[in-house]
């Protein structure tokens, strides 16, 4: 039986940058380990393509990759399986199969410009902010339409659809100062002036936010070569357990104090966005996964520095090595390896992270007081108009009632006076006969 040993990344293995290649999960109910990951899938398919049956089992090894291959040299294990980089120093202990991943080390940097996106003009406001602004504008137009109908009889005689069109026209016409001169009611003018004031502040905030976004995106330089990093004495990042740190020091001549170690994709992303590091150097398979996950935020830049990819380690002179290479080549040629790679990249869902230095879209909370101010003013104007109209109607009705009473009283007085005149003439005729 083949004993296939795997190196783990200690307690933080499943959150590391390579957890998609080797993943080990412990099942407490059965006290067993569950093995998964791209490299293990490739190994399983390779063994299945051998011309003979080869039983094997996975055993977890808690240590570094170099320590792992040394255990294979000492024949404590038959092979080492996992995301083991093929580098020259490890050939002193073992031999490797063909690499089952693309080889090389690349530089990953933040995306520098996204100013050409067609919908960038929407970015300064959140969806809720756009919706609330539109709703307030239409509400103010509705209030002005209700009030102005009392002063414009032609609005009352319009068909229903025409009145709806007038309502929307008033809603958007109130954002122009000249519209205030055409309004008849003082209440309409007050509501319009308040909305103009609020709209001016919102527009200025929108313009400032959009300008800031464009400026920030264009000011960030594109880092496409390591010489820029060296000239600026910039800090760079790499994996804590990877050989890349030594490669950066010895081959690319970075200062040791400028190299920072990280253990997870989230740590890389946070460090890149915050400016803690200017670039991250990752092995090509890891870099592809990282960029697939943060497809809107980071990009691979510069040349690919050629070093070995990931391979399976066997003792020197192992009779299994040629057969494993042949089976592995068969996987390459049939397209099975490409299918596994595509599935690996597709497993990463693209997310967009927000930098502290990037302008945040403005939400309704930023203008809460202003919206209350303009909405409240329009509502007060509507309430005042309603009660004023009701009071006026009552006064007119009251005046009409009082007028009837006075007319009745005048008629009674007039009848009384006429009766009195007639009575006076009769008395006069009796007292002074002819």
CA distances from 205 to 199, 212, 367 (A): 10, 10, 10
Return the top range by mean pLDDT from 88-97, 132-141, 354-363: 88-97
Q: Are 100 and 309 in contact (CB under 8 A)?
A: yes
Asked if residue 315 has pLDDT above 90, the reply is yes
> Which domains does the chain carry?
1-101+309-348 (3.40.190.10)
Interatomic CA distance for residues 71 and 67, integer angstroms: 6
Whole-number pLDDT of residue 357: 47
> Which of these ranges, 20-34, 199-213, 315-329, has the smallest mean pLDDT?
199-213
Where do the H-state alpha helices sit in 58-185?
65-73, 127-148, 153-156, 160-173
Q: Which residues contact 231 (CB under 8 A, 6 or more apart)?
A: none
Average of pLDDT values for 398-403? 56
Whole-number pLDDT of residue 11: 32
Asked if residue 365 has pLDDT above 80, the reply is no
Whole-number pLDDT of residue 419: 64
| DSSP tally for the chain: helices H, then strands E | 13, 12
Asked if residue 413 has pLDDT above 90, the reply is no
Whole-number pLDDT of residue 400: 55
Asked if residue 245 has pLDDT above 80, the reply is yes
Asked if residue 104 has pLDDT above 80, the reply is yes
Percentage of the chain modeled with pLDDT above 90: 25
Which of residues 166 and 427 earns the better pLDDT score? 166
pLDDT tens per residue, range 41-60: 999 999 999 999 988 888 88
Q: Are 235 and 272 in contact (CB under 8 A)?
A: no
Q: Are 57 and 3 in contact (CB under 8 A)?
A: yes
Instruction: State the Rg of the chain over Cα.
Output: 42
Q: How much is the pTM?
A: 0.58
Confidence band for 241, pLDDT divided at 50, 70 and 90: confident
Which of these, 79, 108, 20, lies nearest to 340 by C-alpha position? 20
Which of residues 87 and 419 earns the better pLDDT score? 87
Asked if residue 223 has pLDDT above 60, the reply is yes
Bridge partners of residue 27, in order along the sequence: 32
Interatomic CA distance for residues 323 and 319, integer angstroms: 8
Whole-number pLDDT of residue 412: 63
Beta strand 79-85 with 279-283: parallel, antiparallel or unpaired? unpaired
Sign of CA dihedral 82, 83, 85, 90: negative
Interatomic CA distance for residues 69 and 308, integer angstroms: 15
Q: Are 295 and 269 in contact (CB under 8 A)?
A: no
Whole-number pLDDT of residue 162: 67
- Chain-centroid distance of CA 42 in Å reads 35
Average of pLDDT values for 221-234? 82
Whole-number pLDDT of residue 8: 40
Whole-number pLDDT of residue 386: 74
Where do the H-state alpha helices sit in 174-307?
186-219, 226-231, 244-250, 265-274, 284-293
Q: Share the mean pLDDT of the chain.
A: 77
Which of residues 277 and 126 earns the better pLDDT score? 277
């Amino acid at each position: 039986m083949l004993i296939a040993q795997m190196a783990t990344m200690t307690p933080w293995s499943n959150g590391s940058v390579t957890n998609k290649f080797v993943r080990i999960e412990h099942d407490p109910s059965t006290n067993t380990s569950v093995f998964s990951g791209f490299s293990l899938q490739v190994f399983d398919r390779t063994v299945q393509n051998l011309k003979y049956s080869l039983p094997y089992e996975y055993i977890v090894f808690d240590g570094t990759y170099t320590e792992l291959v040394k255990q294979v040299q000492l024949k404590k294990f038959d092979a080492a399986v996992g995301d083991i980089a093929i580098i020259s120093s490890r050939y002193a202990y073992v031999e490797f199969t063909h690499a089952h991943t693309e080889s090389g080390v690349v530089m990953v940097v933040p995306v520098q410009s996204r100013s050409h996106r067609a919908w960038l003009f929407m970015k300064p406001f959140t969806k809720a902010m756009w919706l609330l602004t539109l709703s307030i504008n239409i509400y103010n137009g509705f209030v002005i339409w209700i009030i102005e109908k009392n002063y414009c009889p032609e609005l009352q005689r319009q068909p229903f659809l025409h009145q709806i069109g007038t309502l929307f026209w008033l809603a958007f016409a109130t954002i122009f100062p000249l519209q205030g001169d055409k309004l008849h009611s003082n209440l309409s003018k007050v509501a319009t002036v308040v909305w103009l004031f609020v709209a001016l502040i919102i527009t200025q905030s929108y313009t400032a936010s959009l300008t800031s976004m464009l400026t920030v995106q264009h000011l960030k330089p594109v880092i496409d070569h390591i010489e820029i990093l060296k000239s600026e004495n910039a800090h760079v990042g790499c994996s804590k357990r990877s050989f890349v740190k030594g490669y950066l020091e010895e081959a690319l001549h970075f200062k040791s104090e400028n190299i920072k170690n990280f253990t997870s994709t989230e740590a890389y992303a946070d460090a890149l966005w915050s400016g803690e590091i200017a670039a991250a150097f990752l092995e090509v398979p890891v870099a592809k996964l990282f960029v697939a996950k943060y497809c809107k935020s980071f990009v691979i830049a510069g040349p690919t520095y050629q070093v070995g990819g990931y391979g399976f380690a066997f003792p020197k002179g192992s009779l299994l090595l040629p057969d494993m290479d042949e089976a592995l080549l068969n996987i390459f040629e049939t397209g099975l390896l490409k299918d596994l790679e595509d599935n690996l990249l597709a497993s990463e869902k693209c997310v967009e992270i927000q930098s502290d230095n990037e302008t945040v879209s403005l939400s309704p909370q930023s203008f809460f007081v202003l919206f209350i101010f303009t909405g409240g003013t329009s509502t007060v104007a509507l309430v005042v108009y309603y009660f004023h109209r009701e009071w006026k109607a009552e006064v007119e009705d009251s005046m009409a009632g009082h007028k009837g009473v006075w007319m009745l009283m005048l008629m009674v007085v007039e009848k009384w006076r006429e009766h009195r005149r007639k009575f006076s003439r009769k008395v006069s005729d009796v007292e002074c006969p002819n």
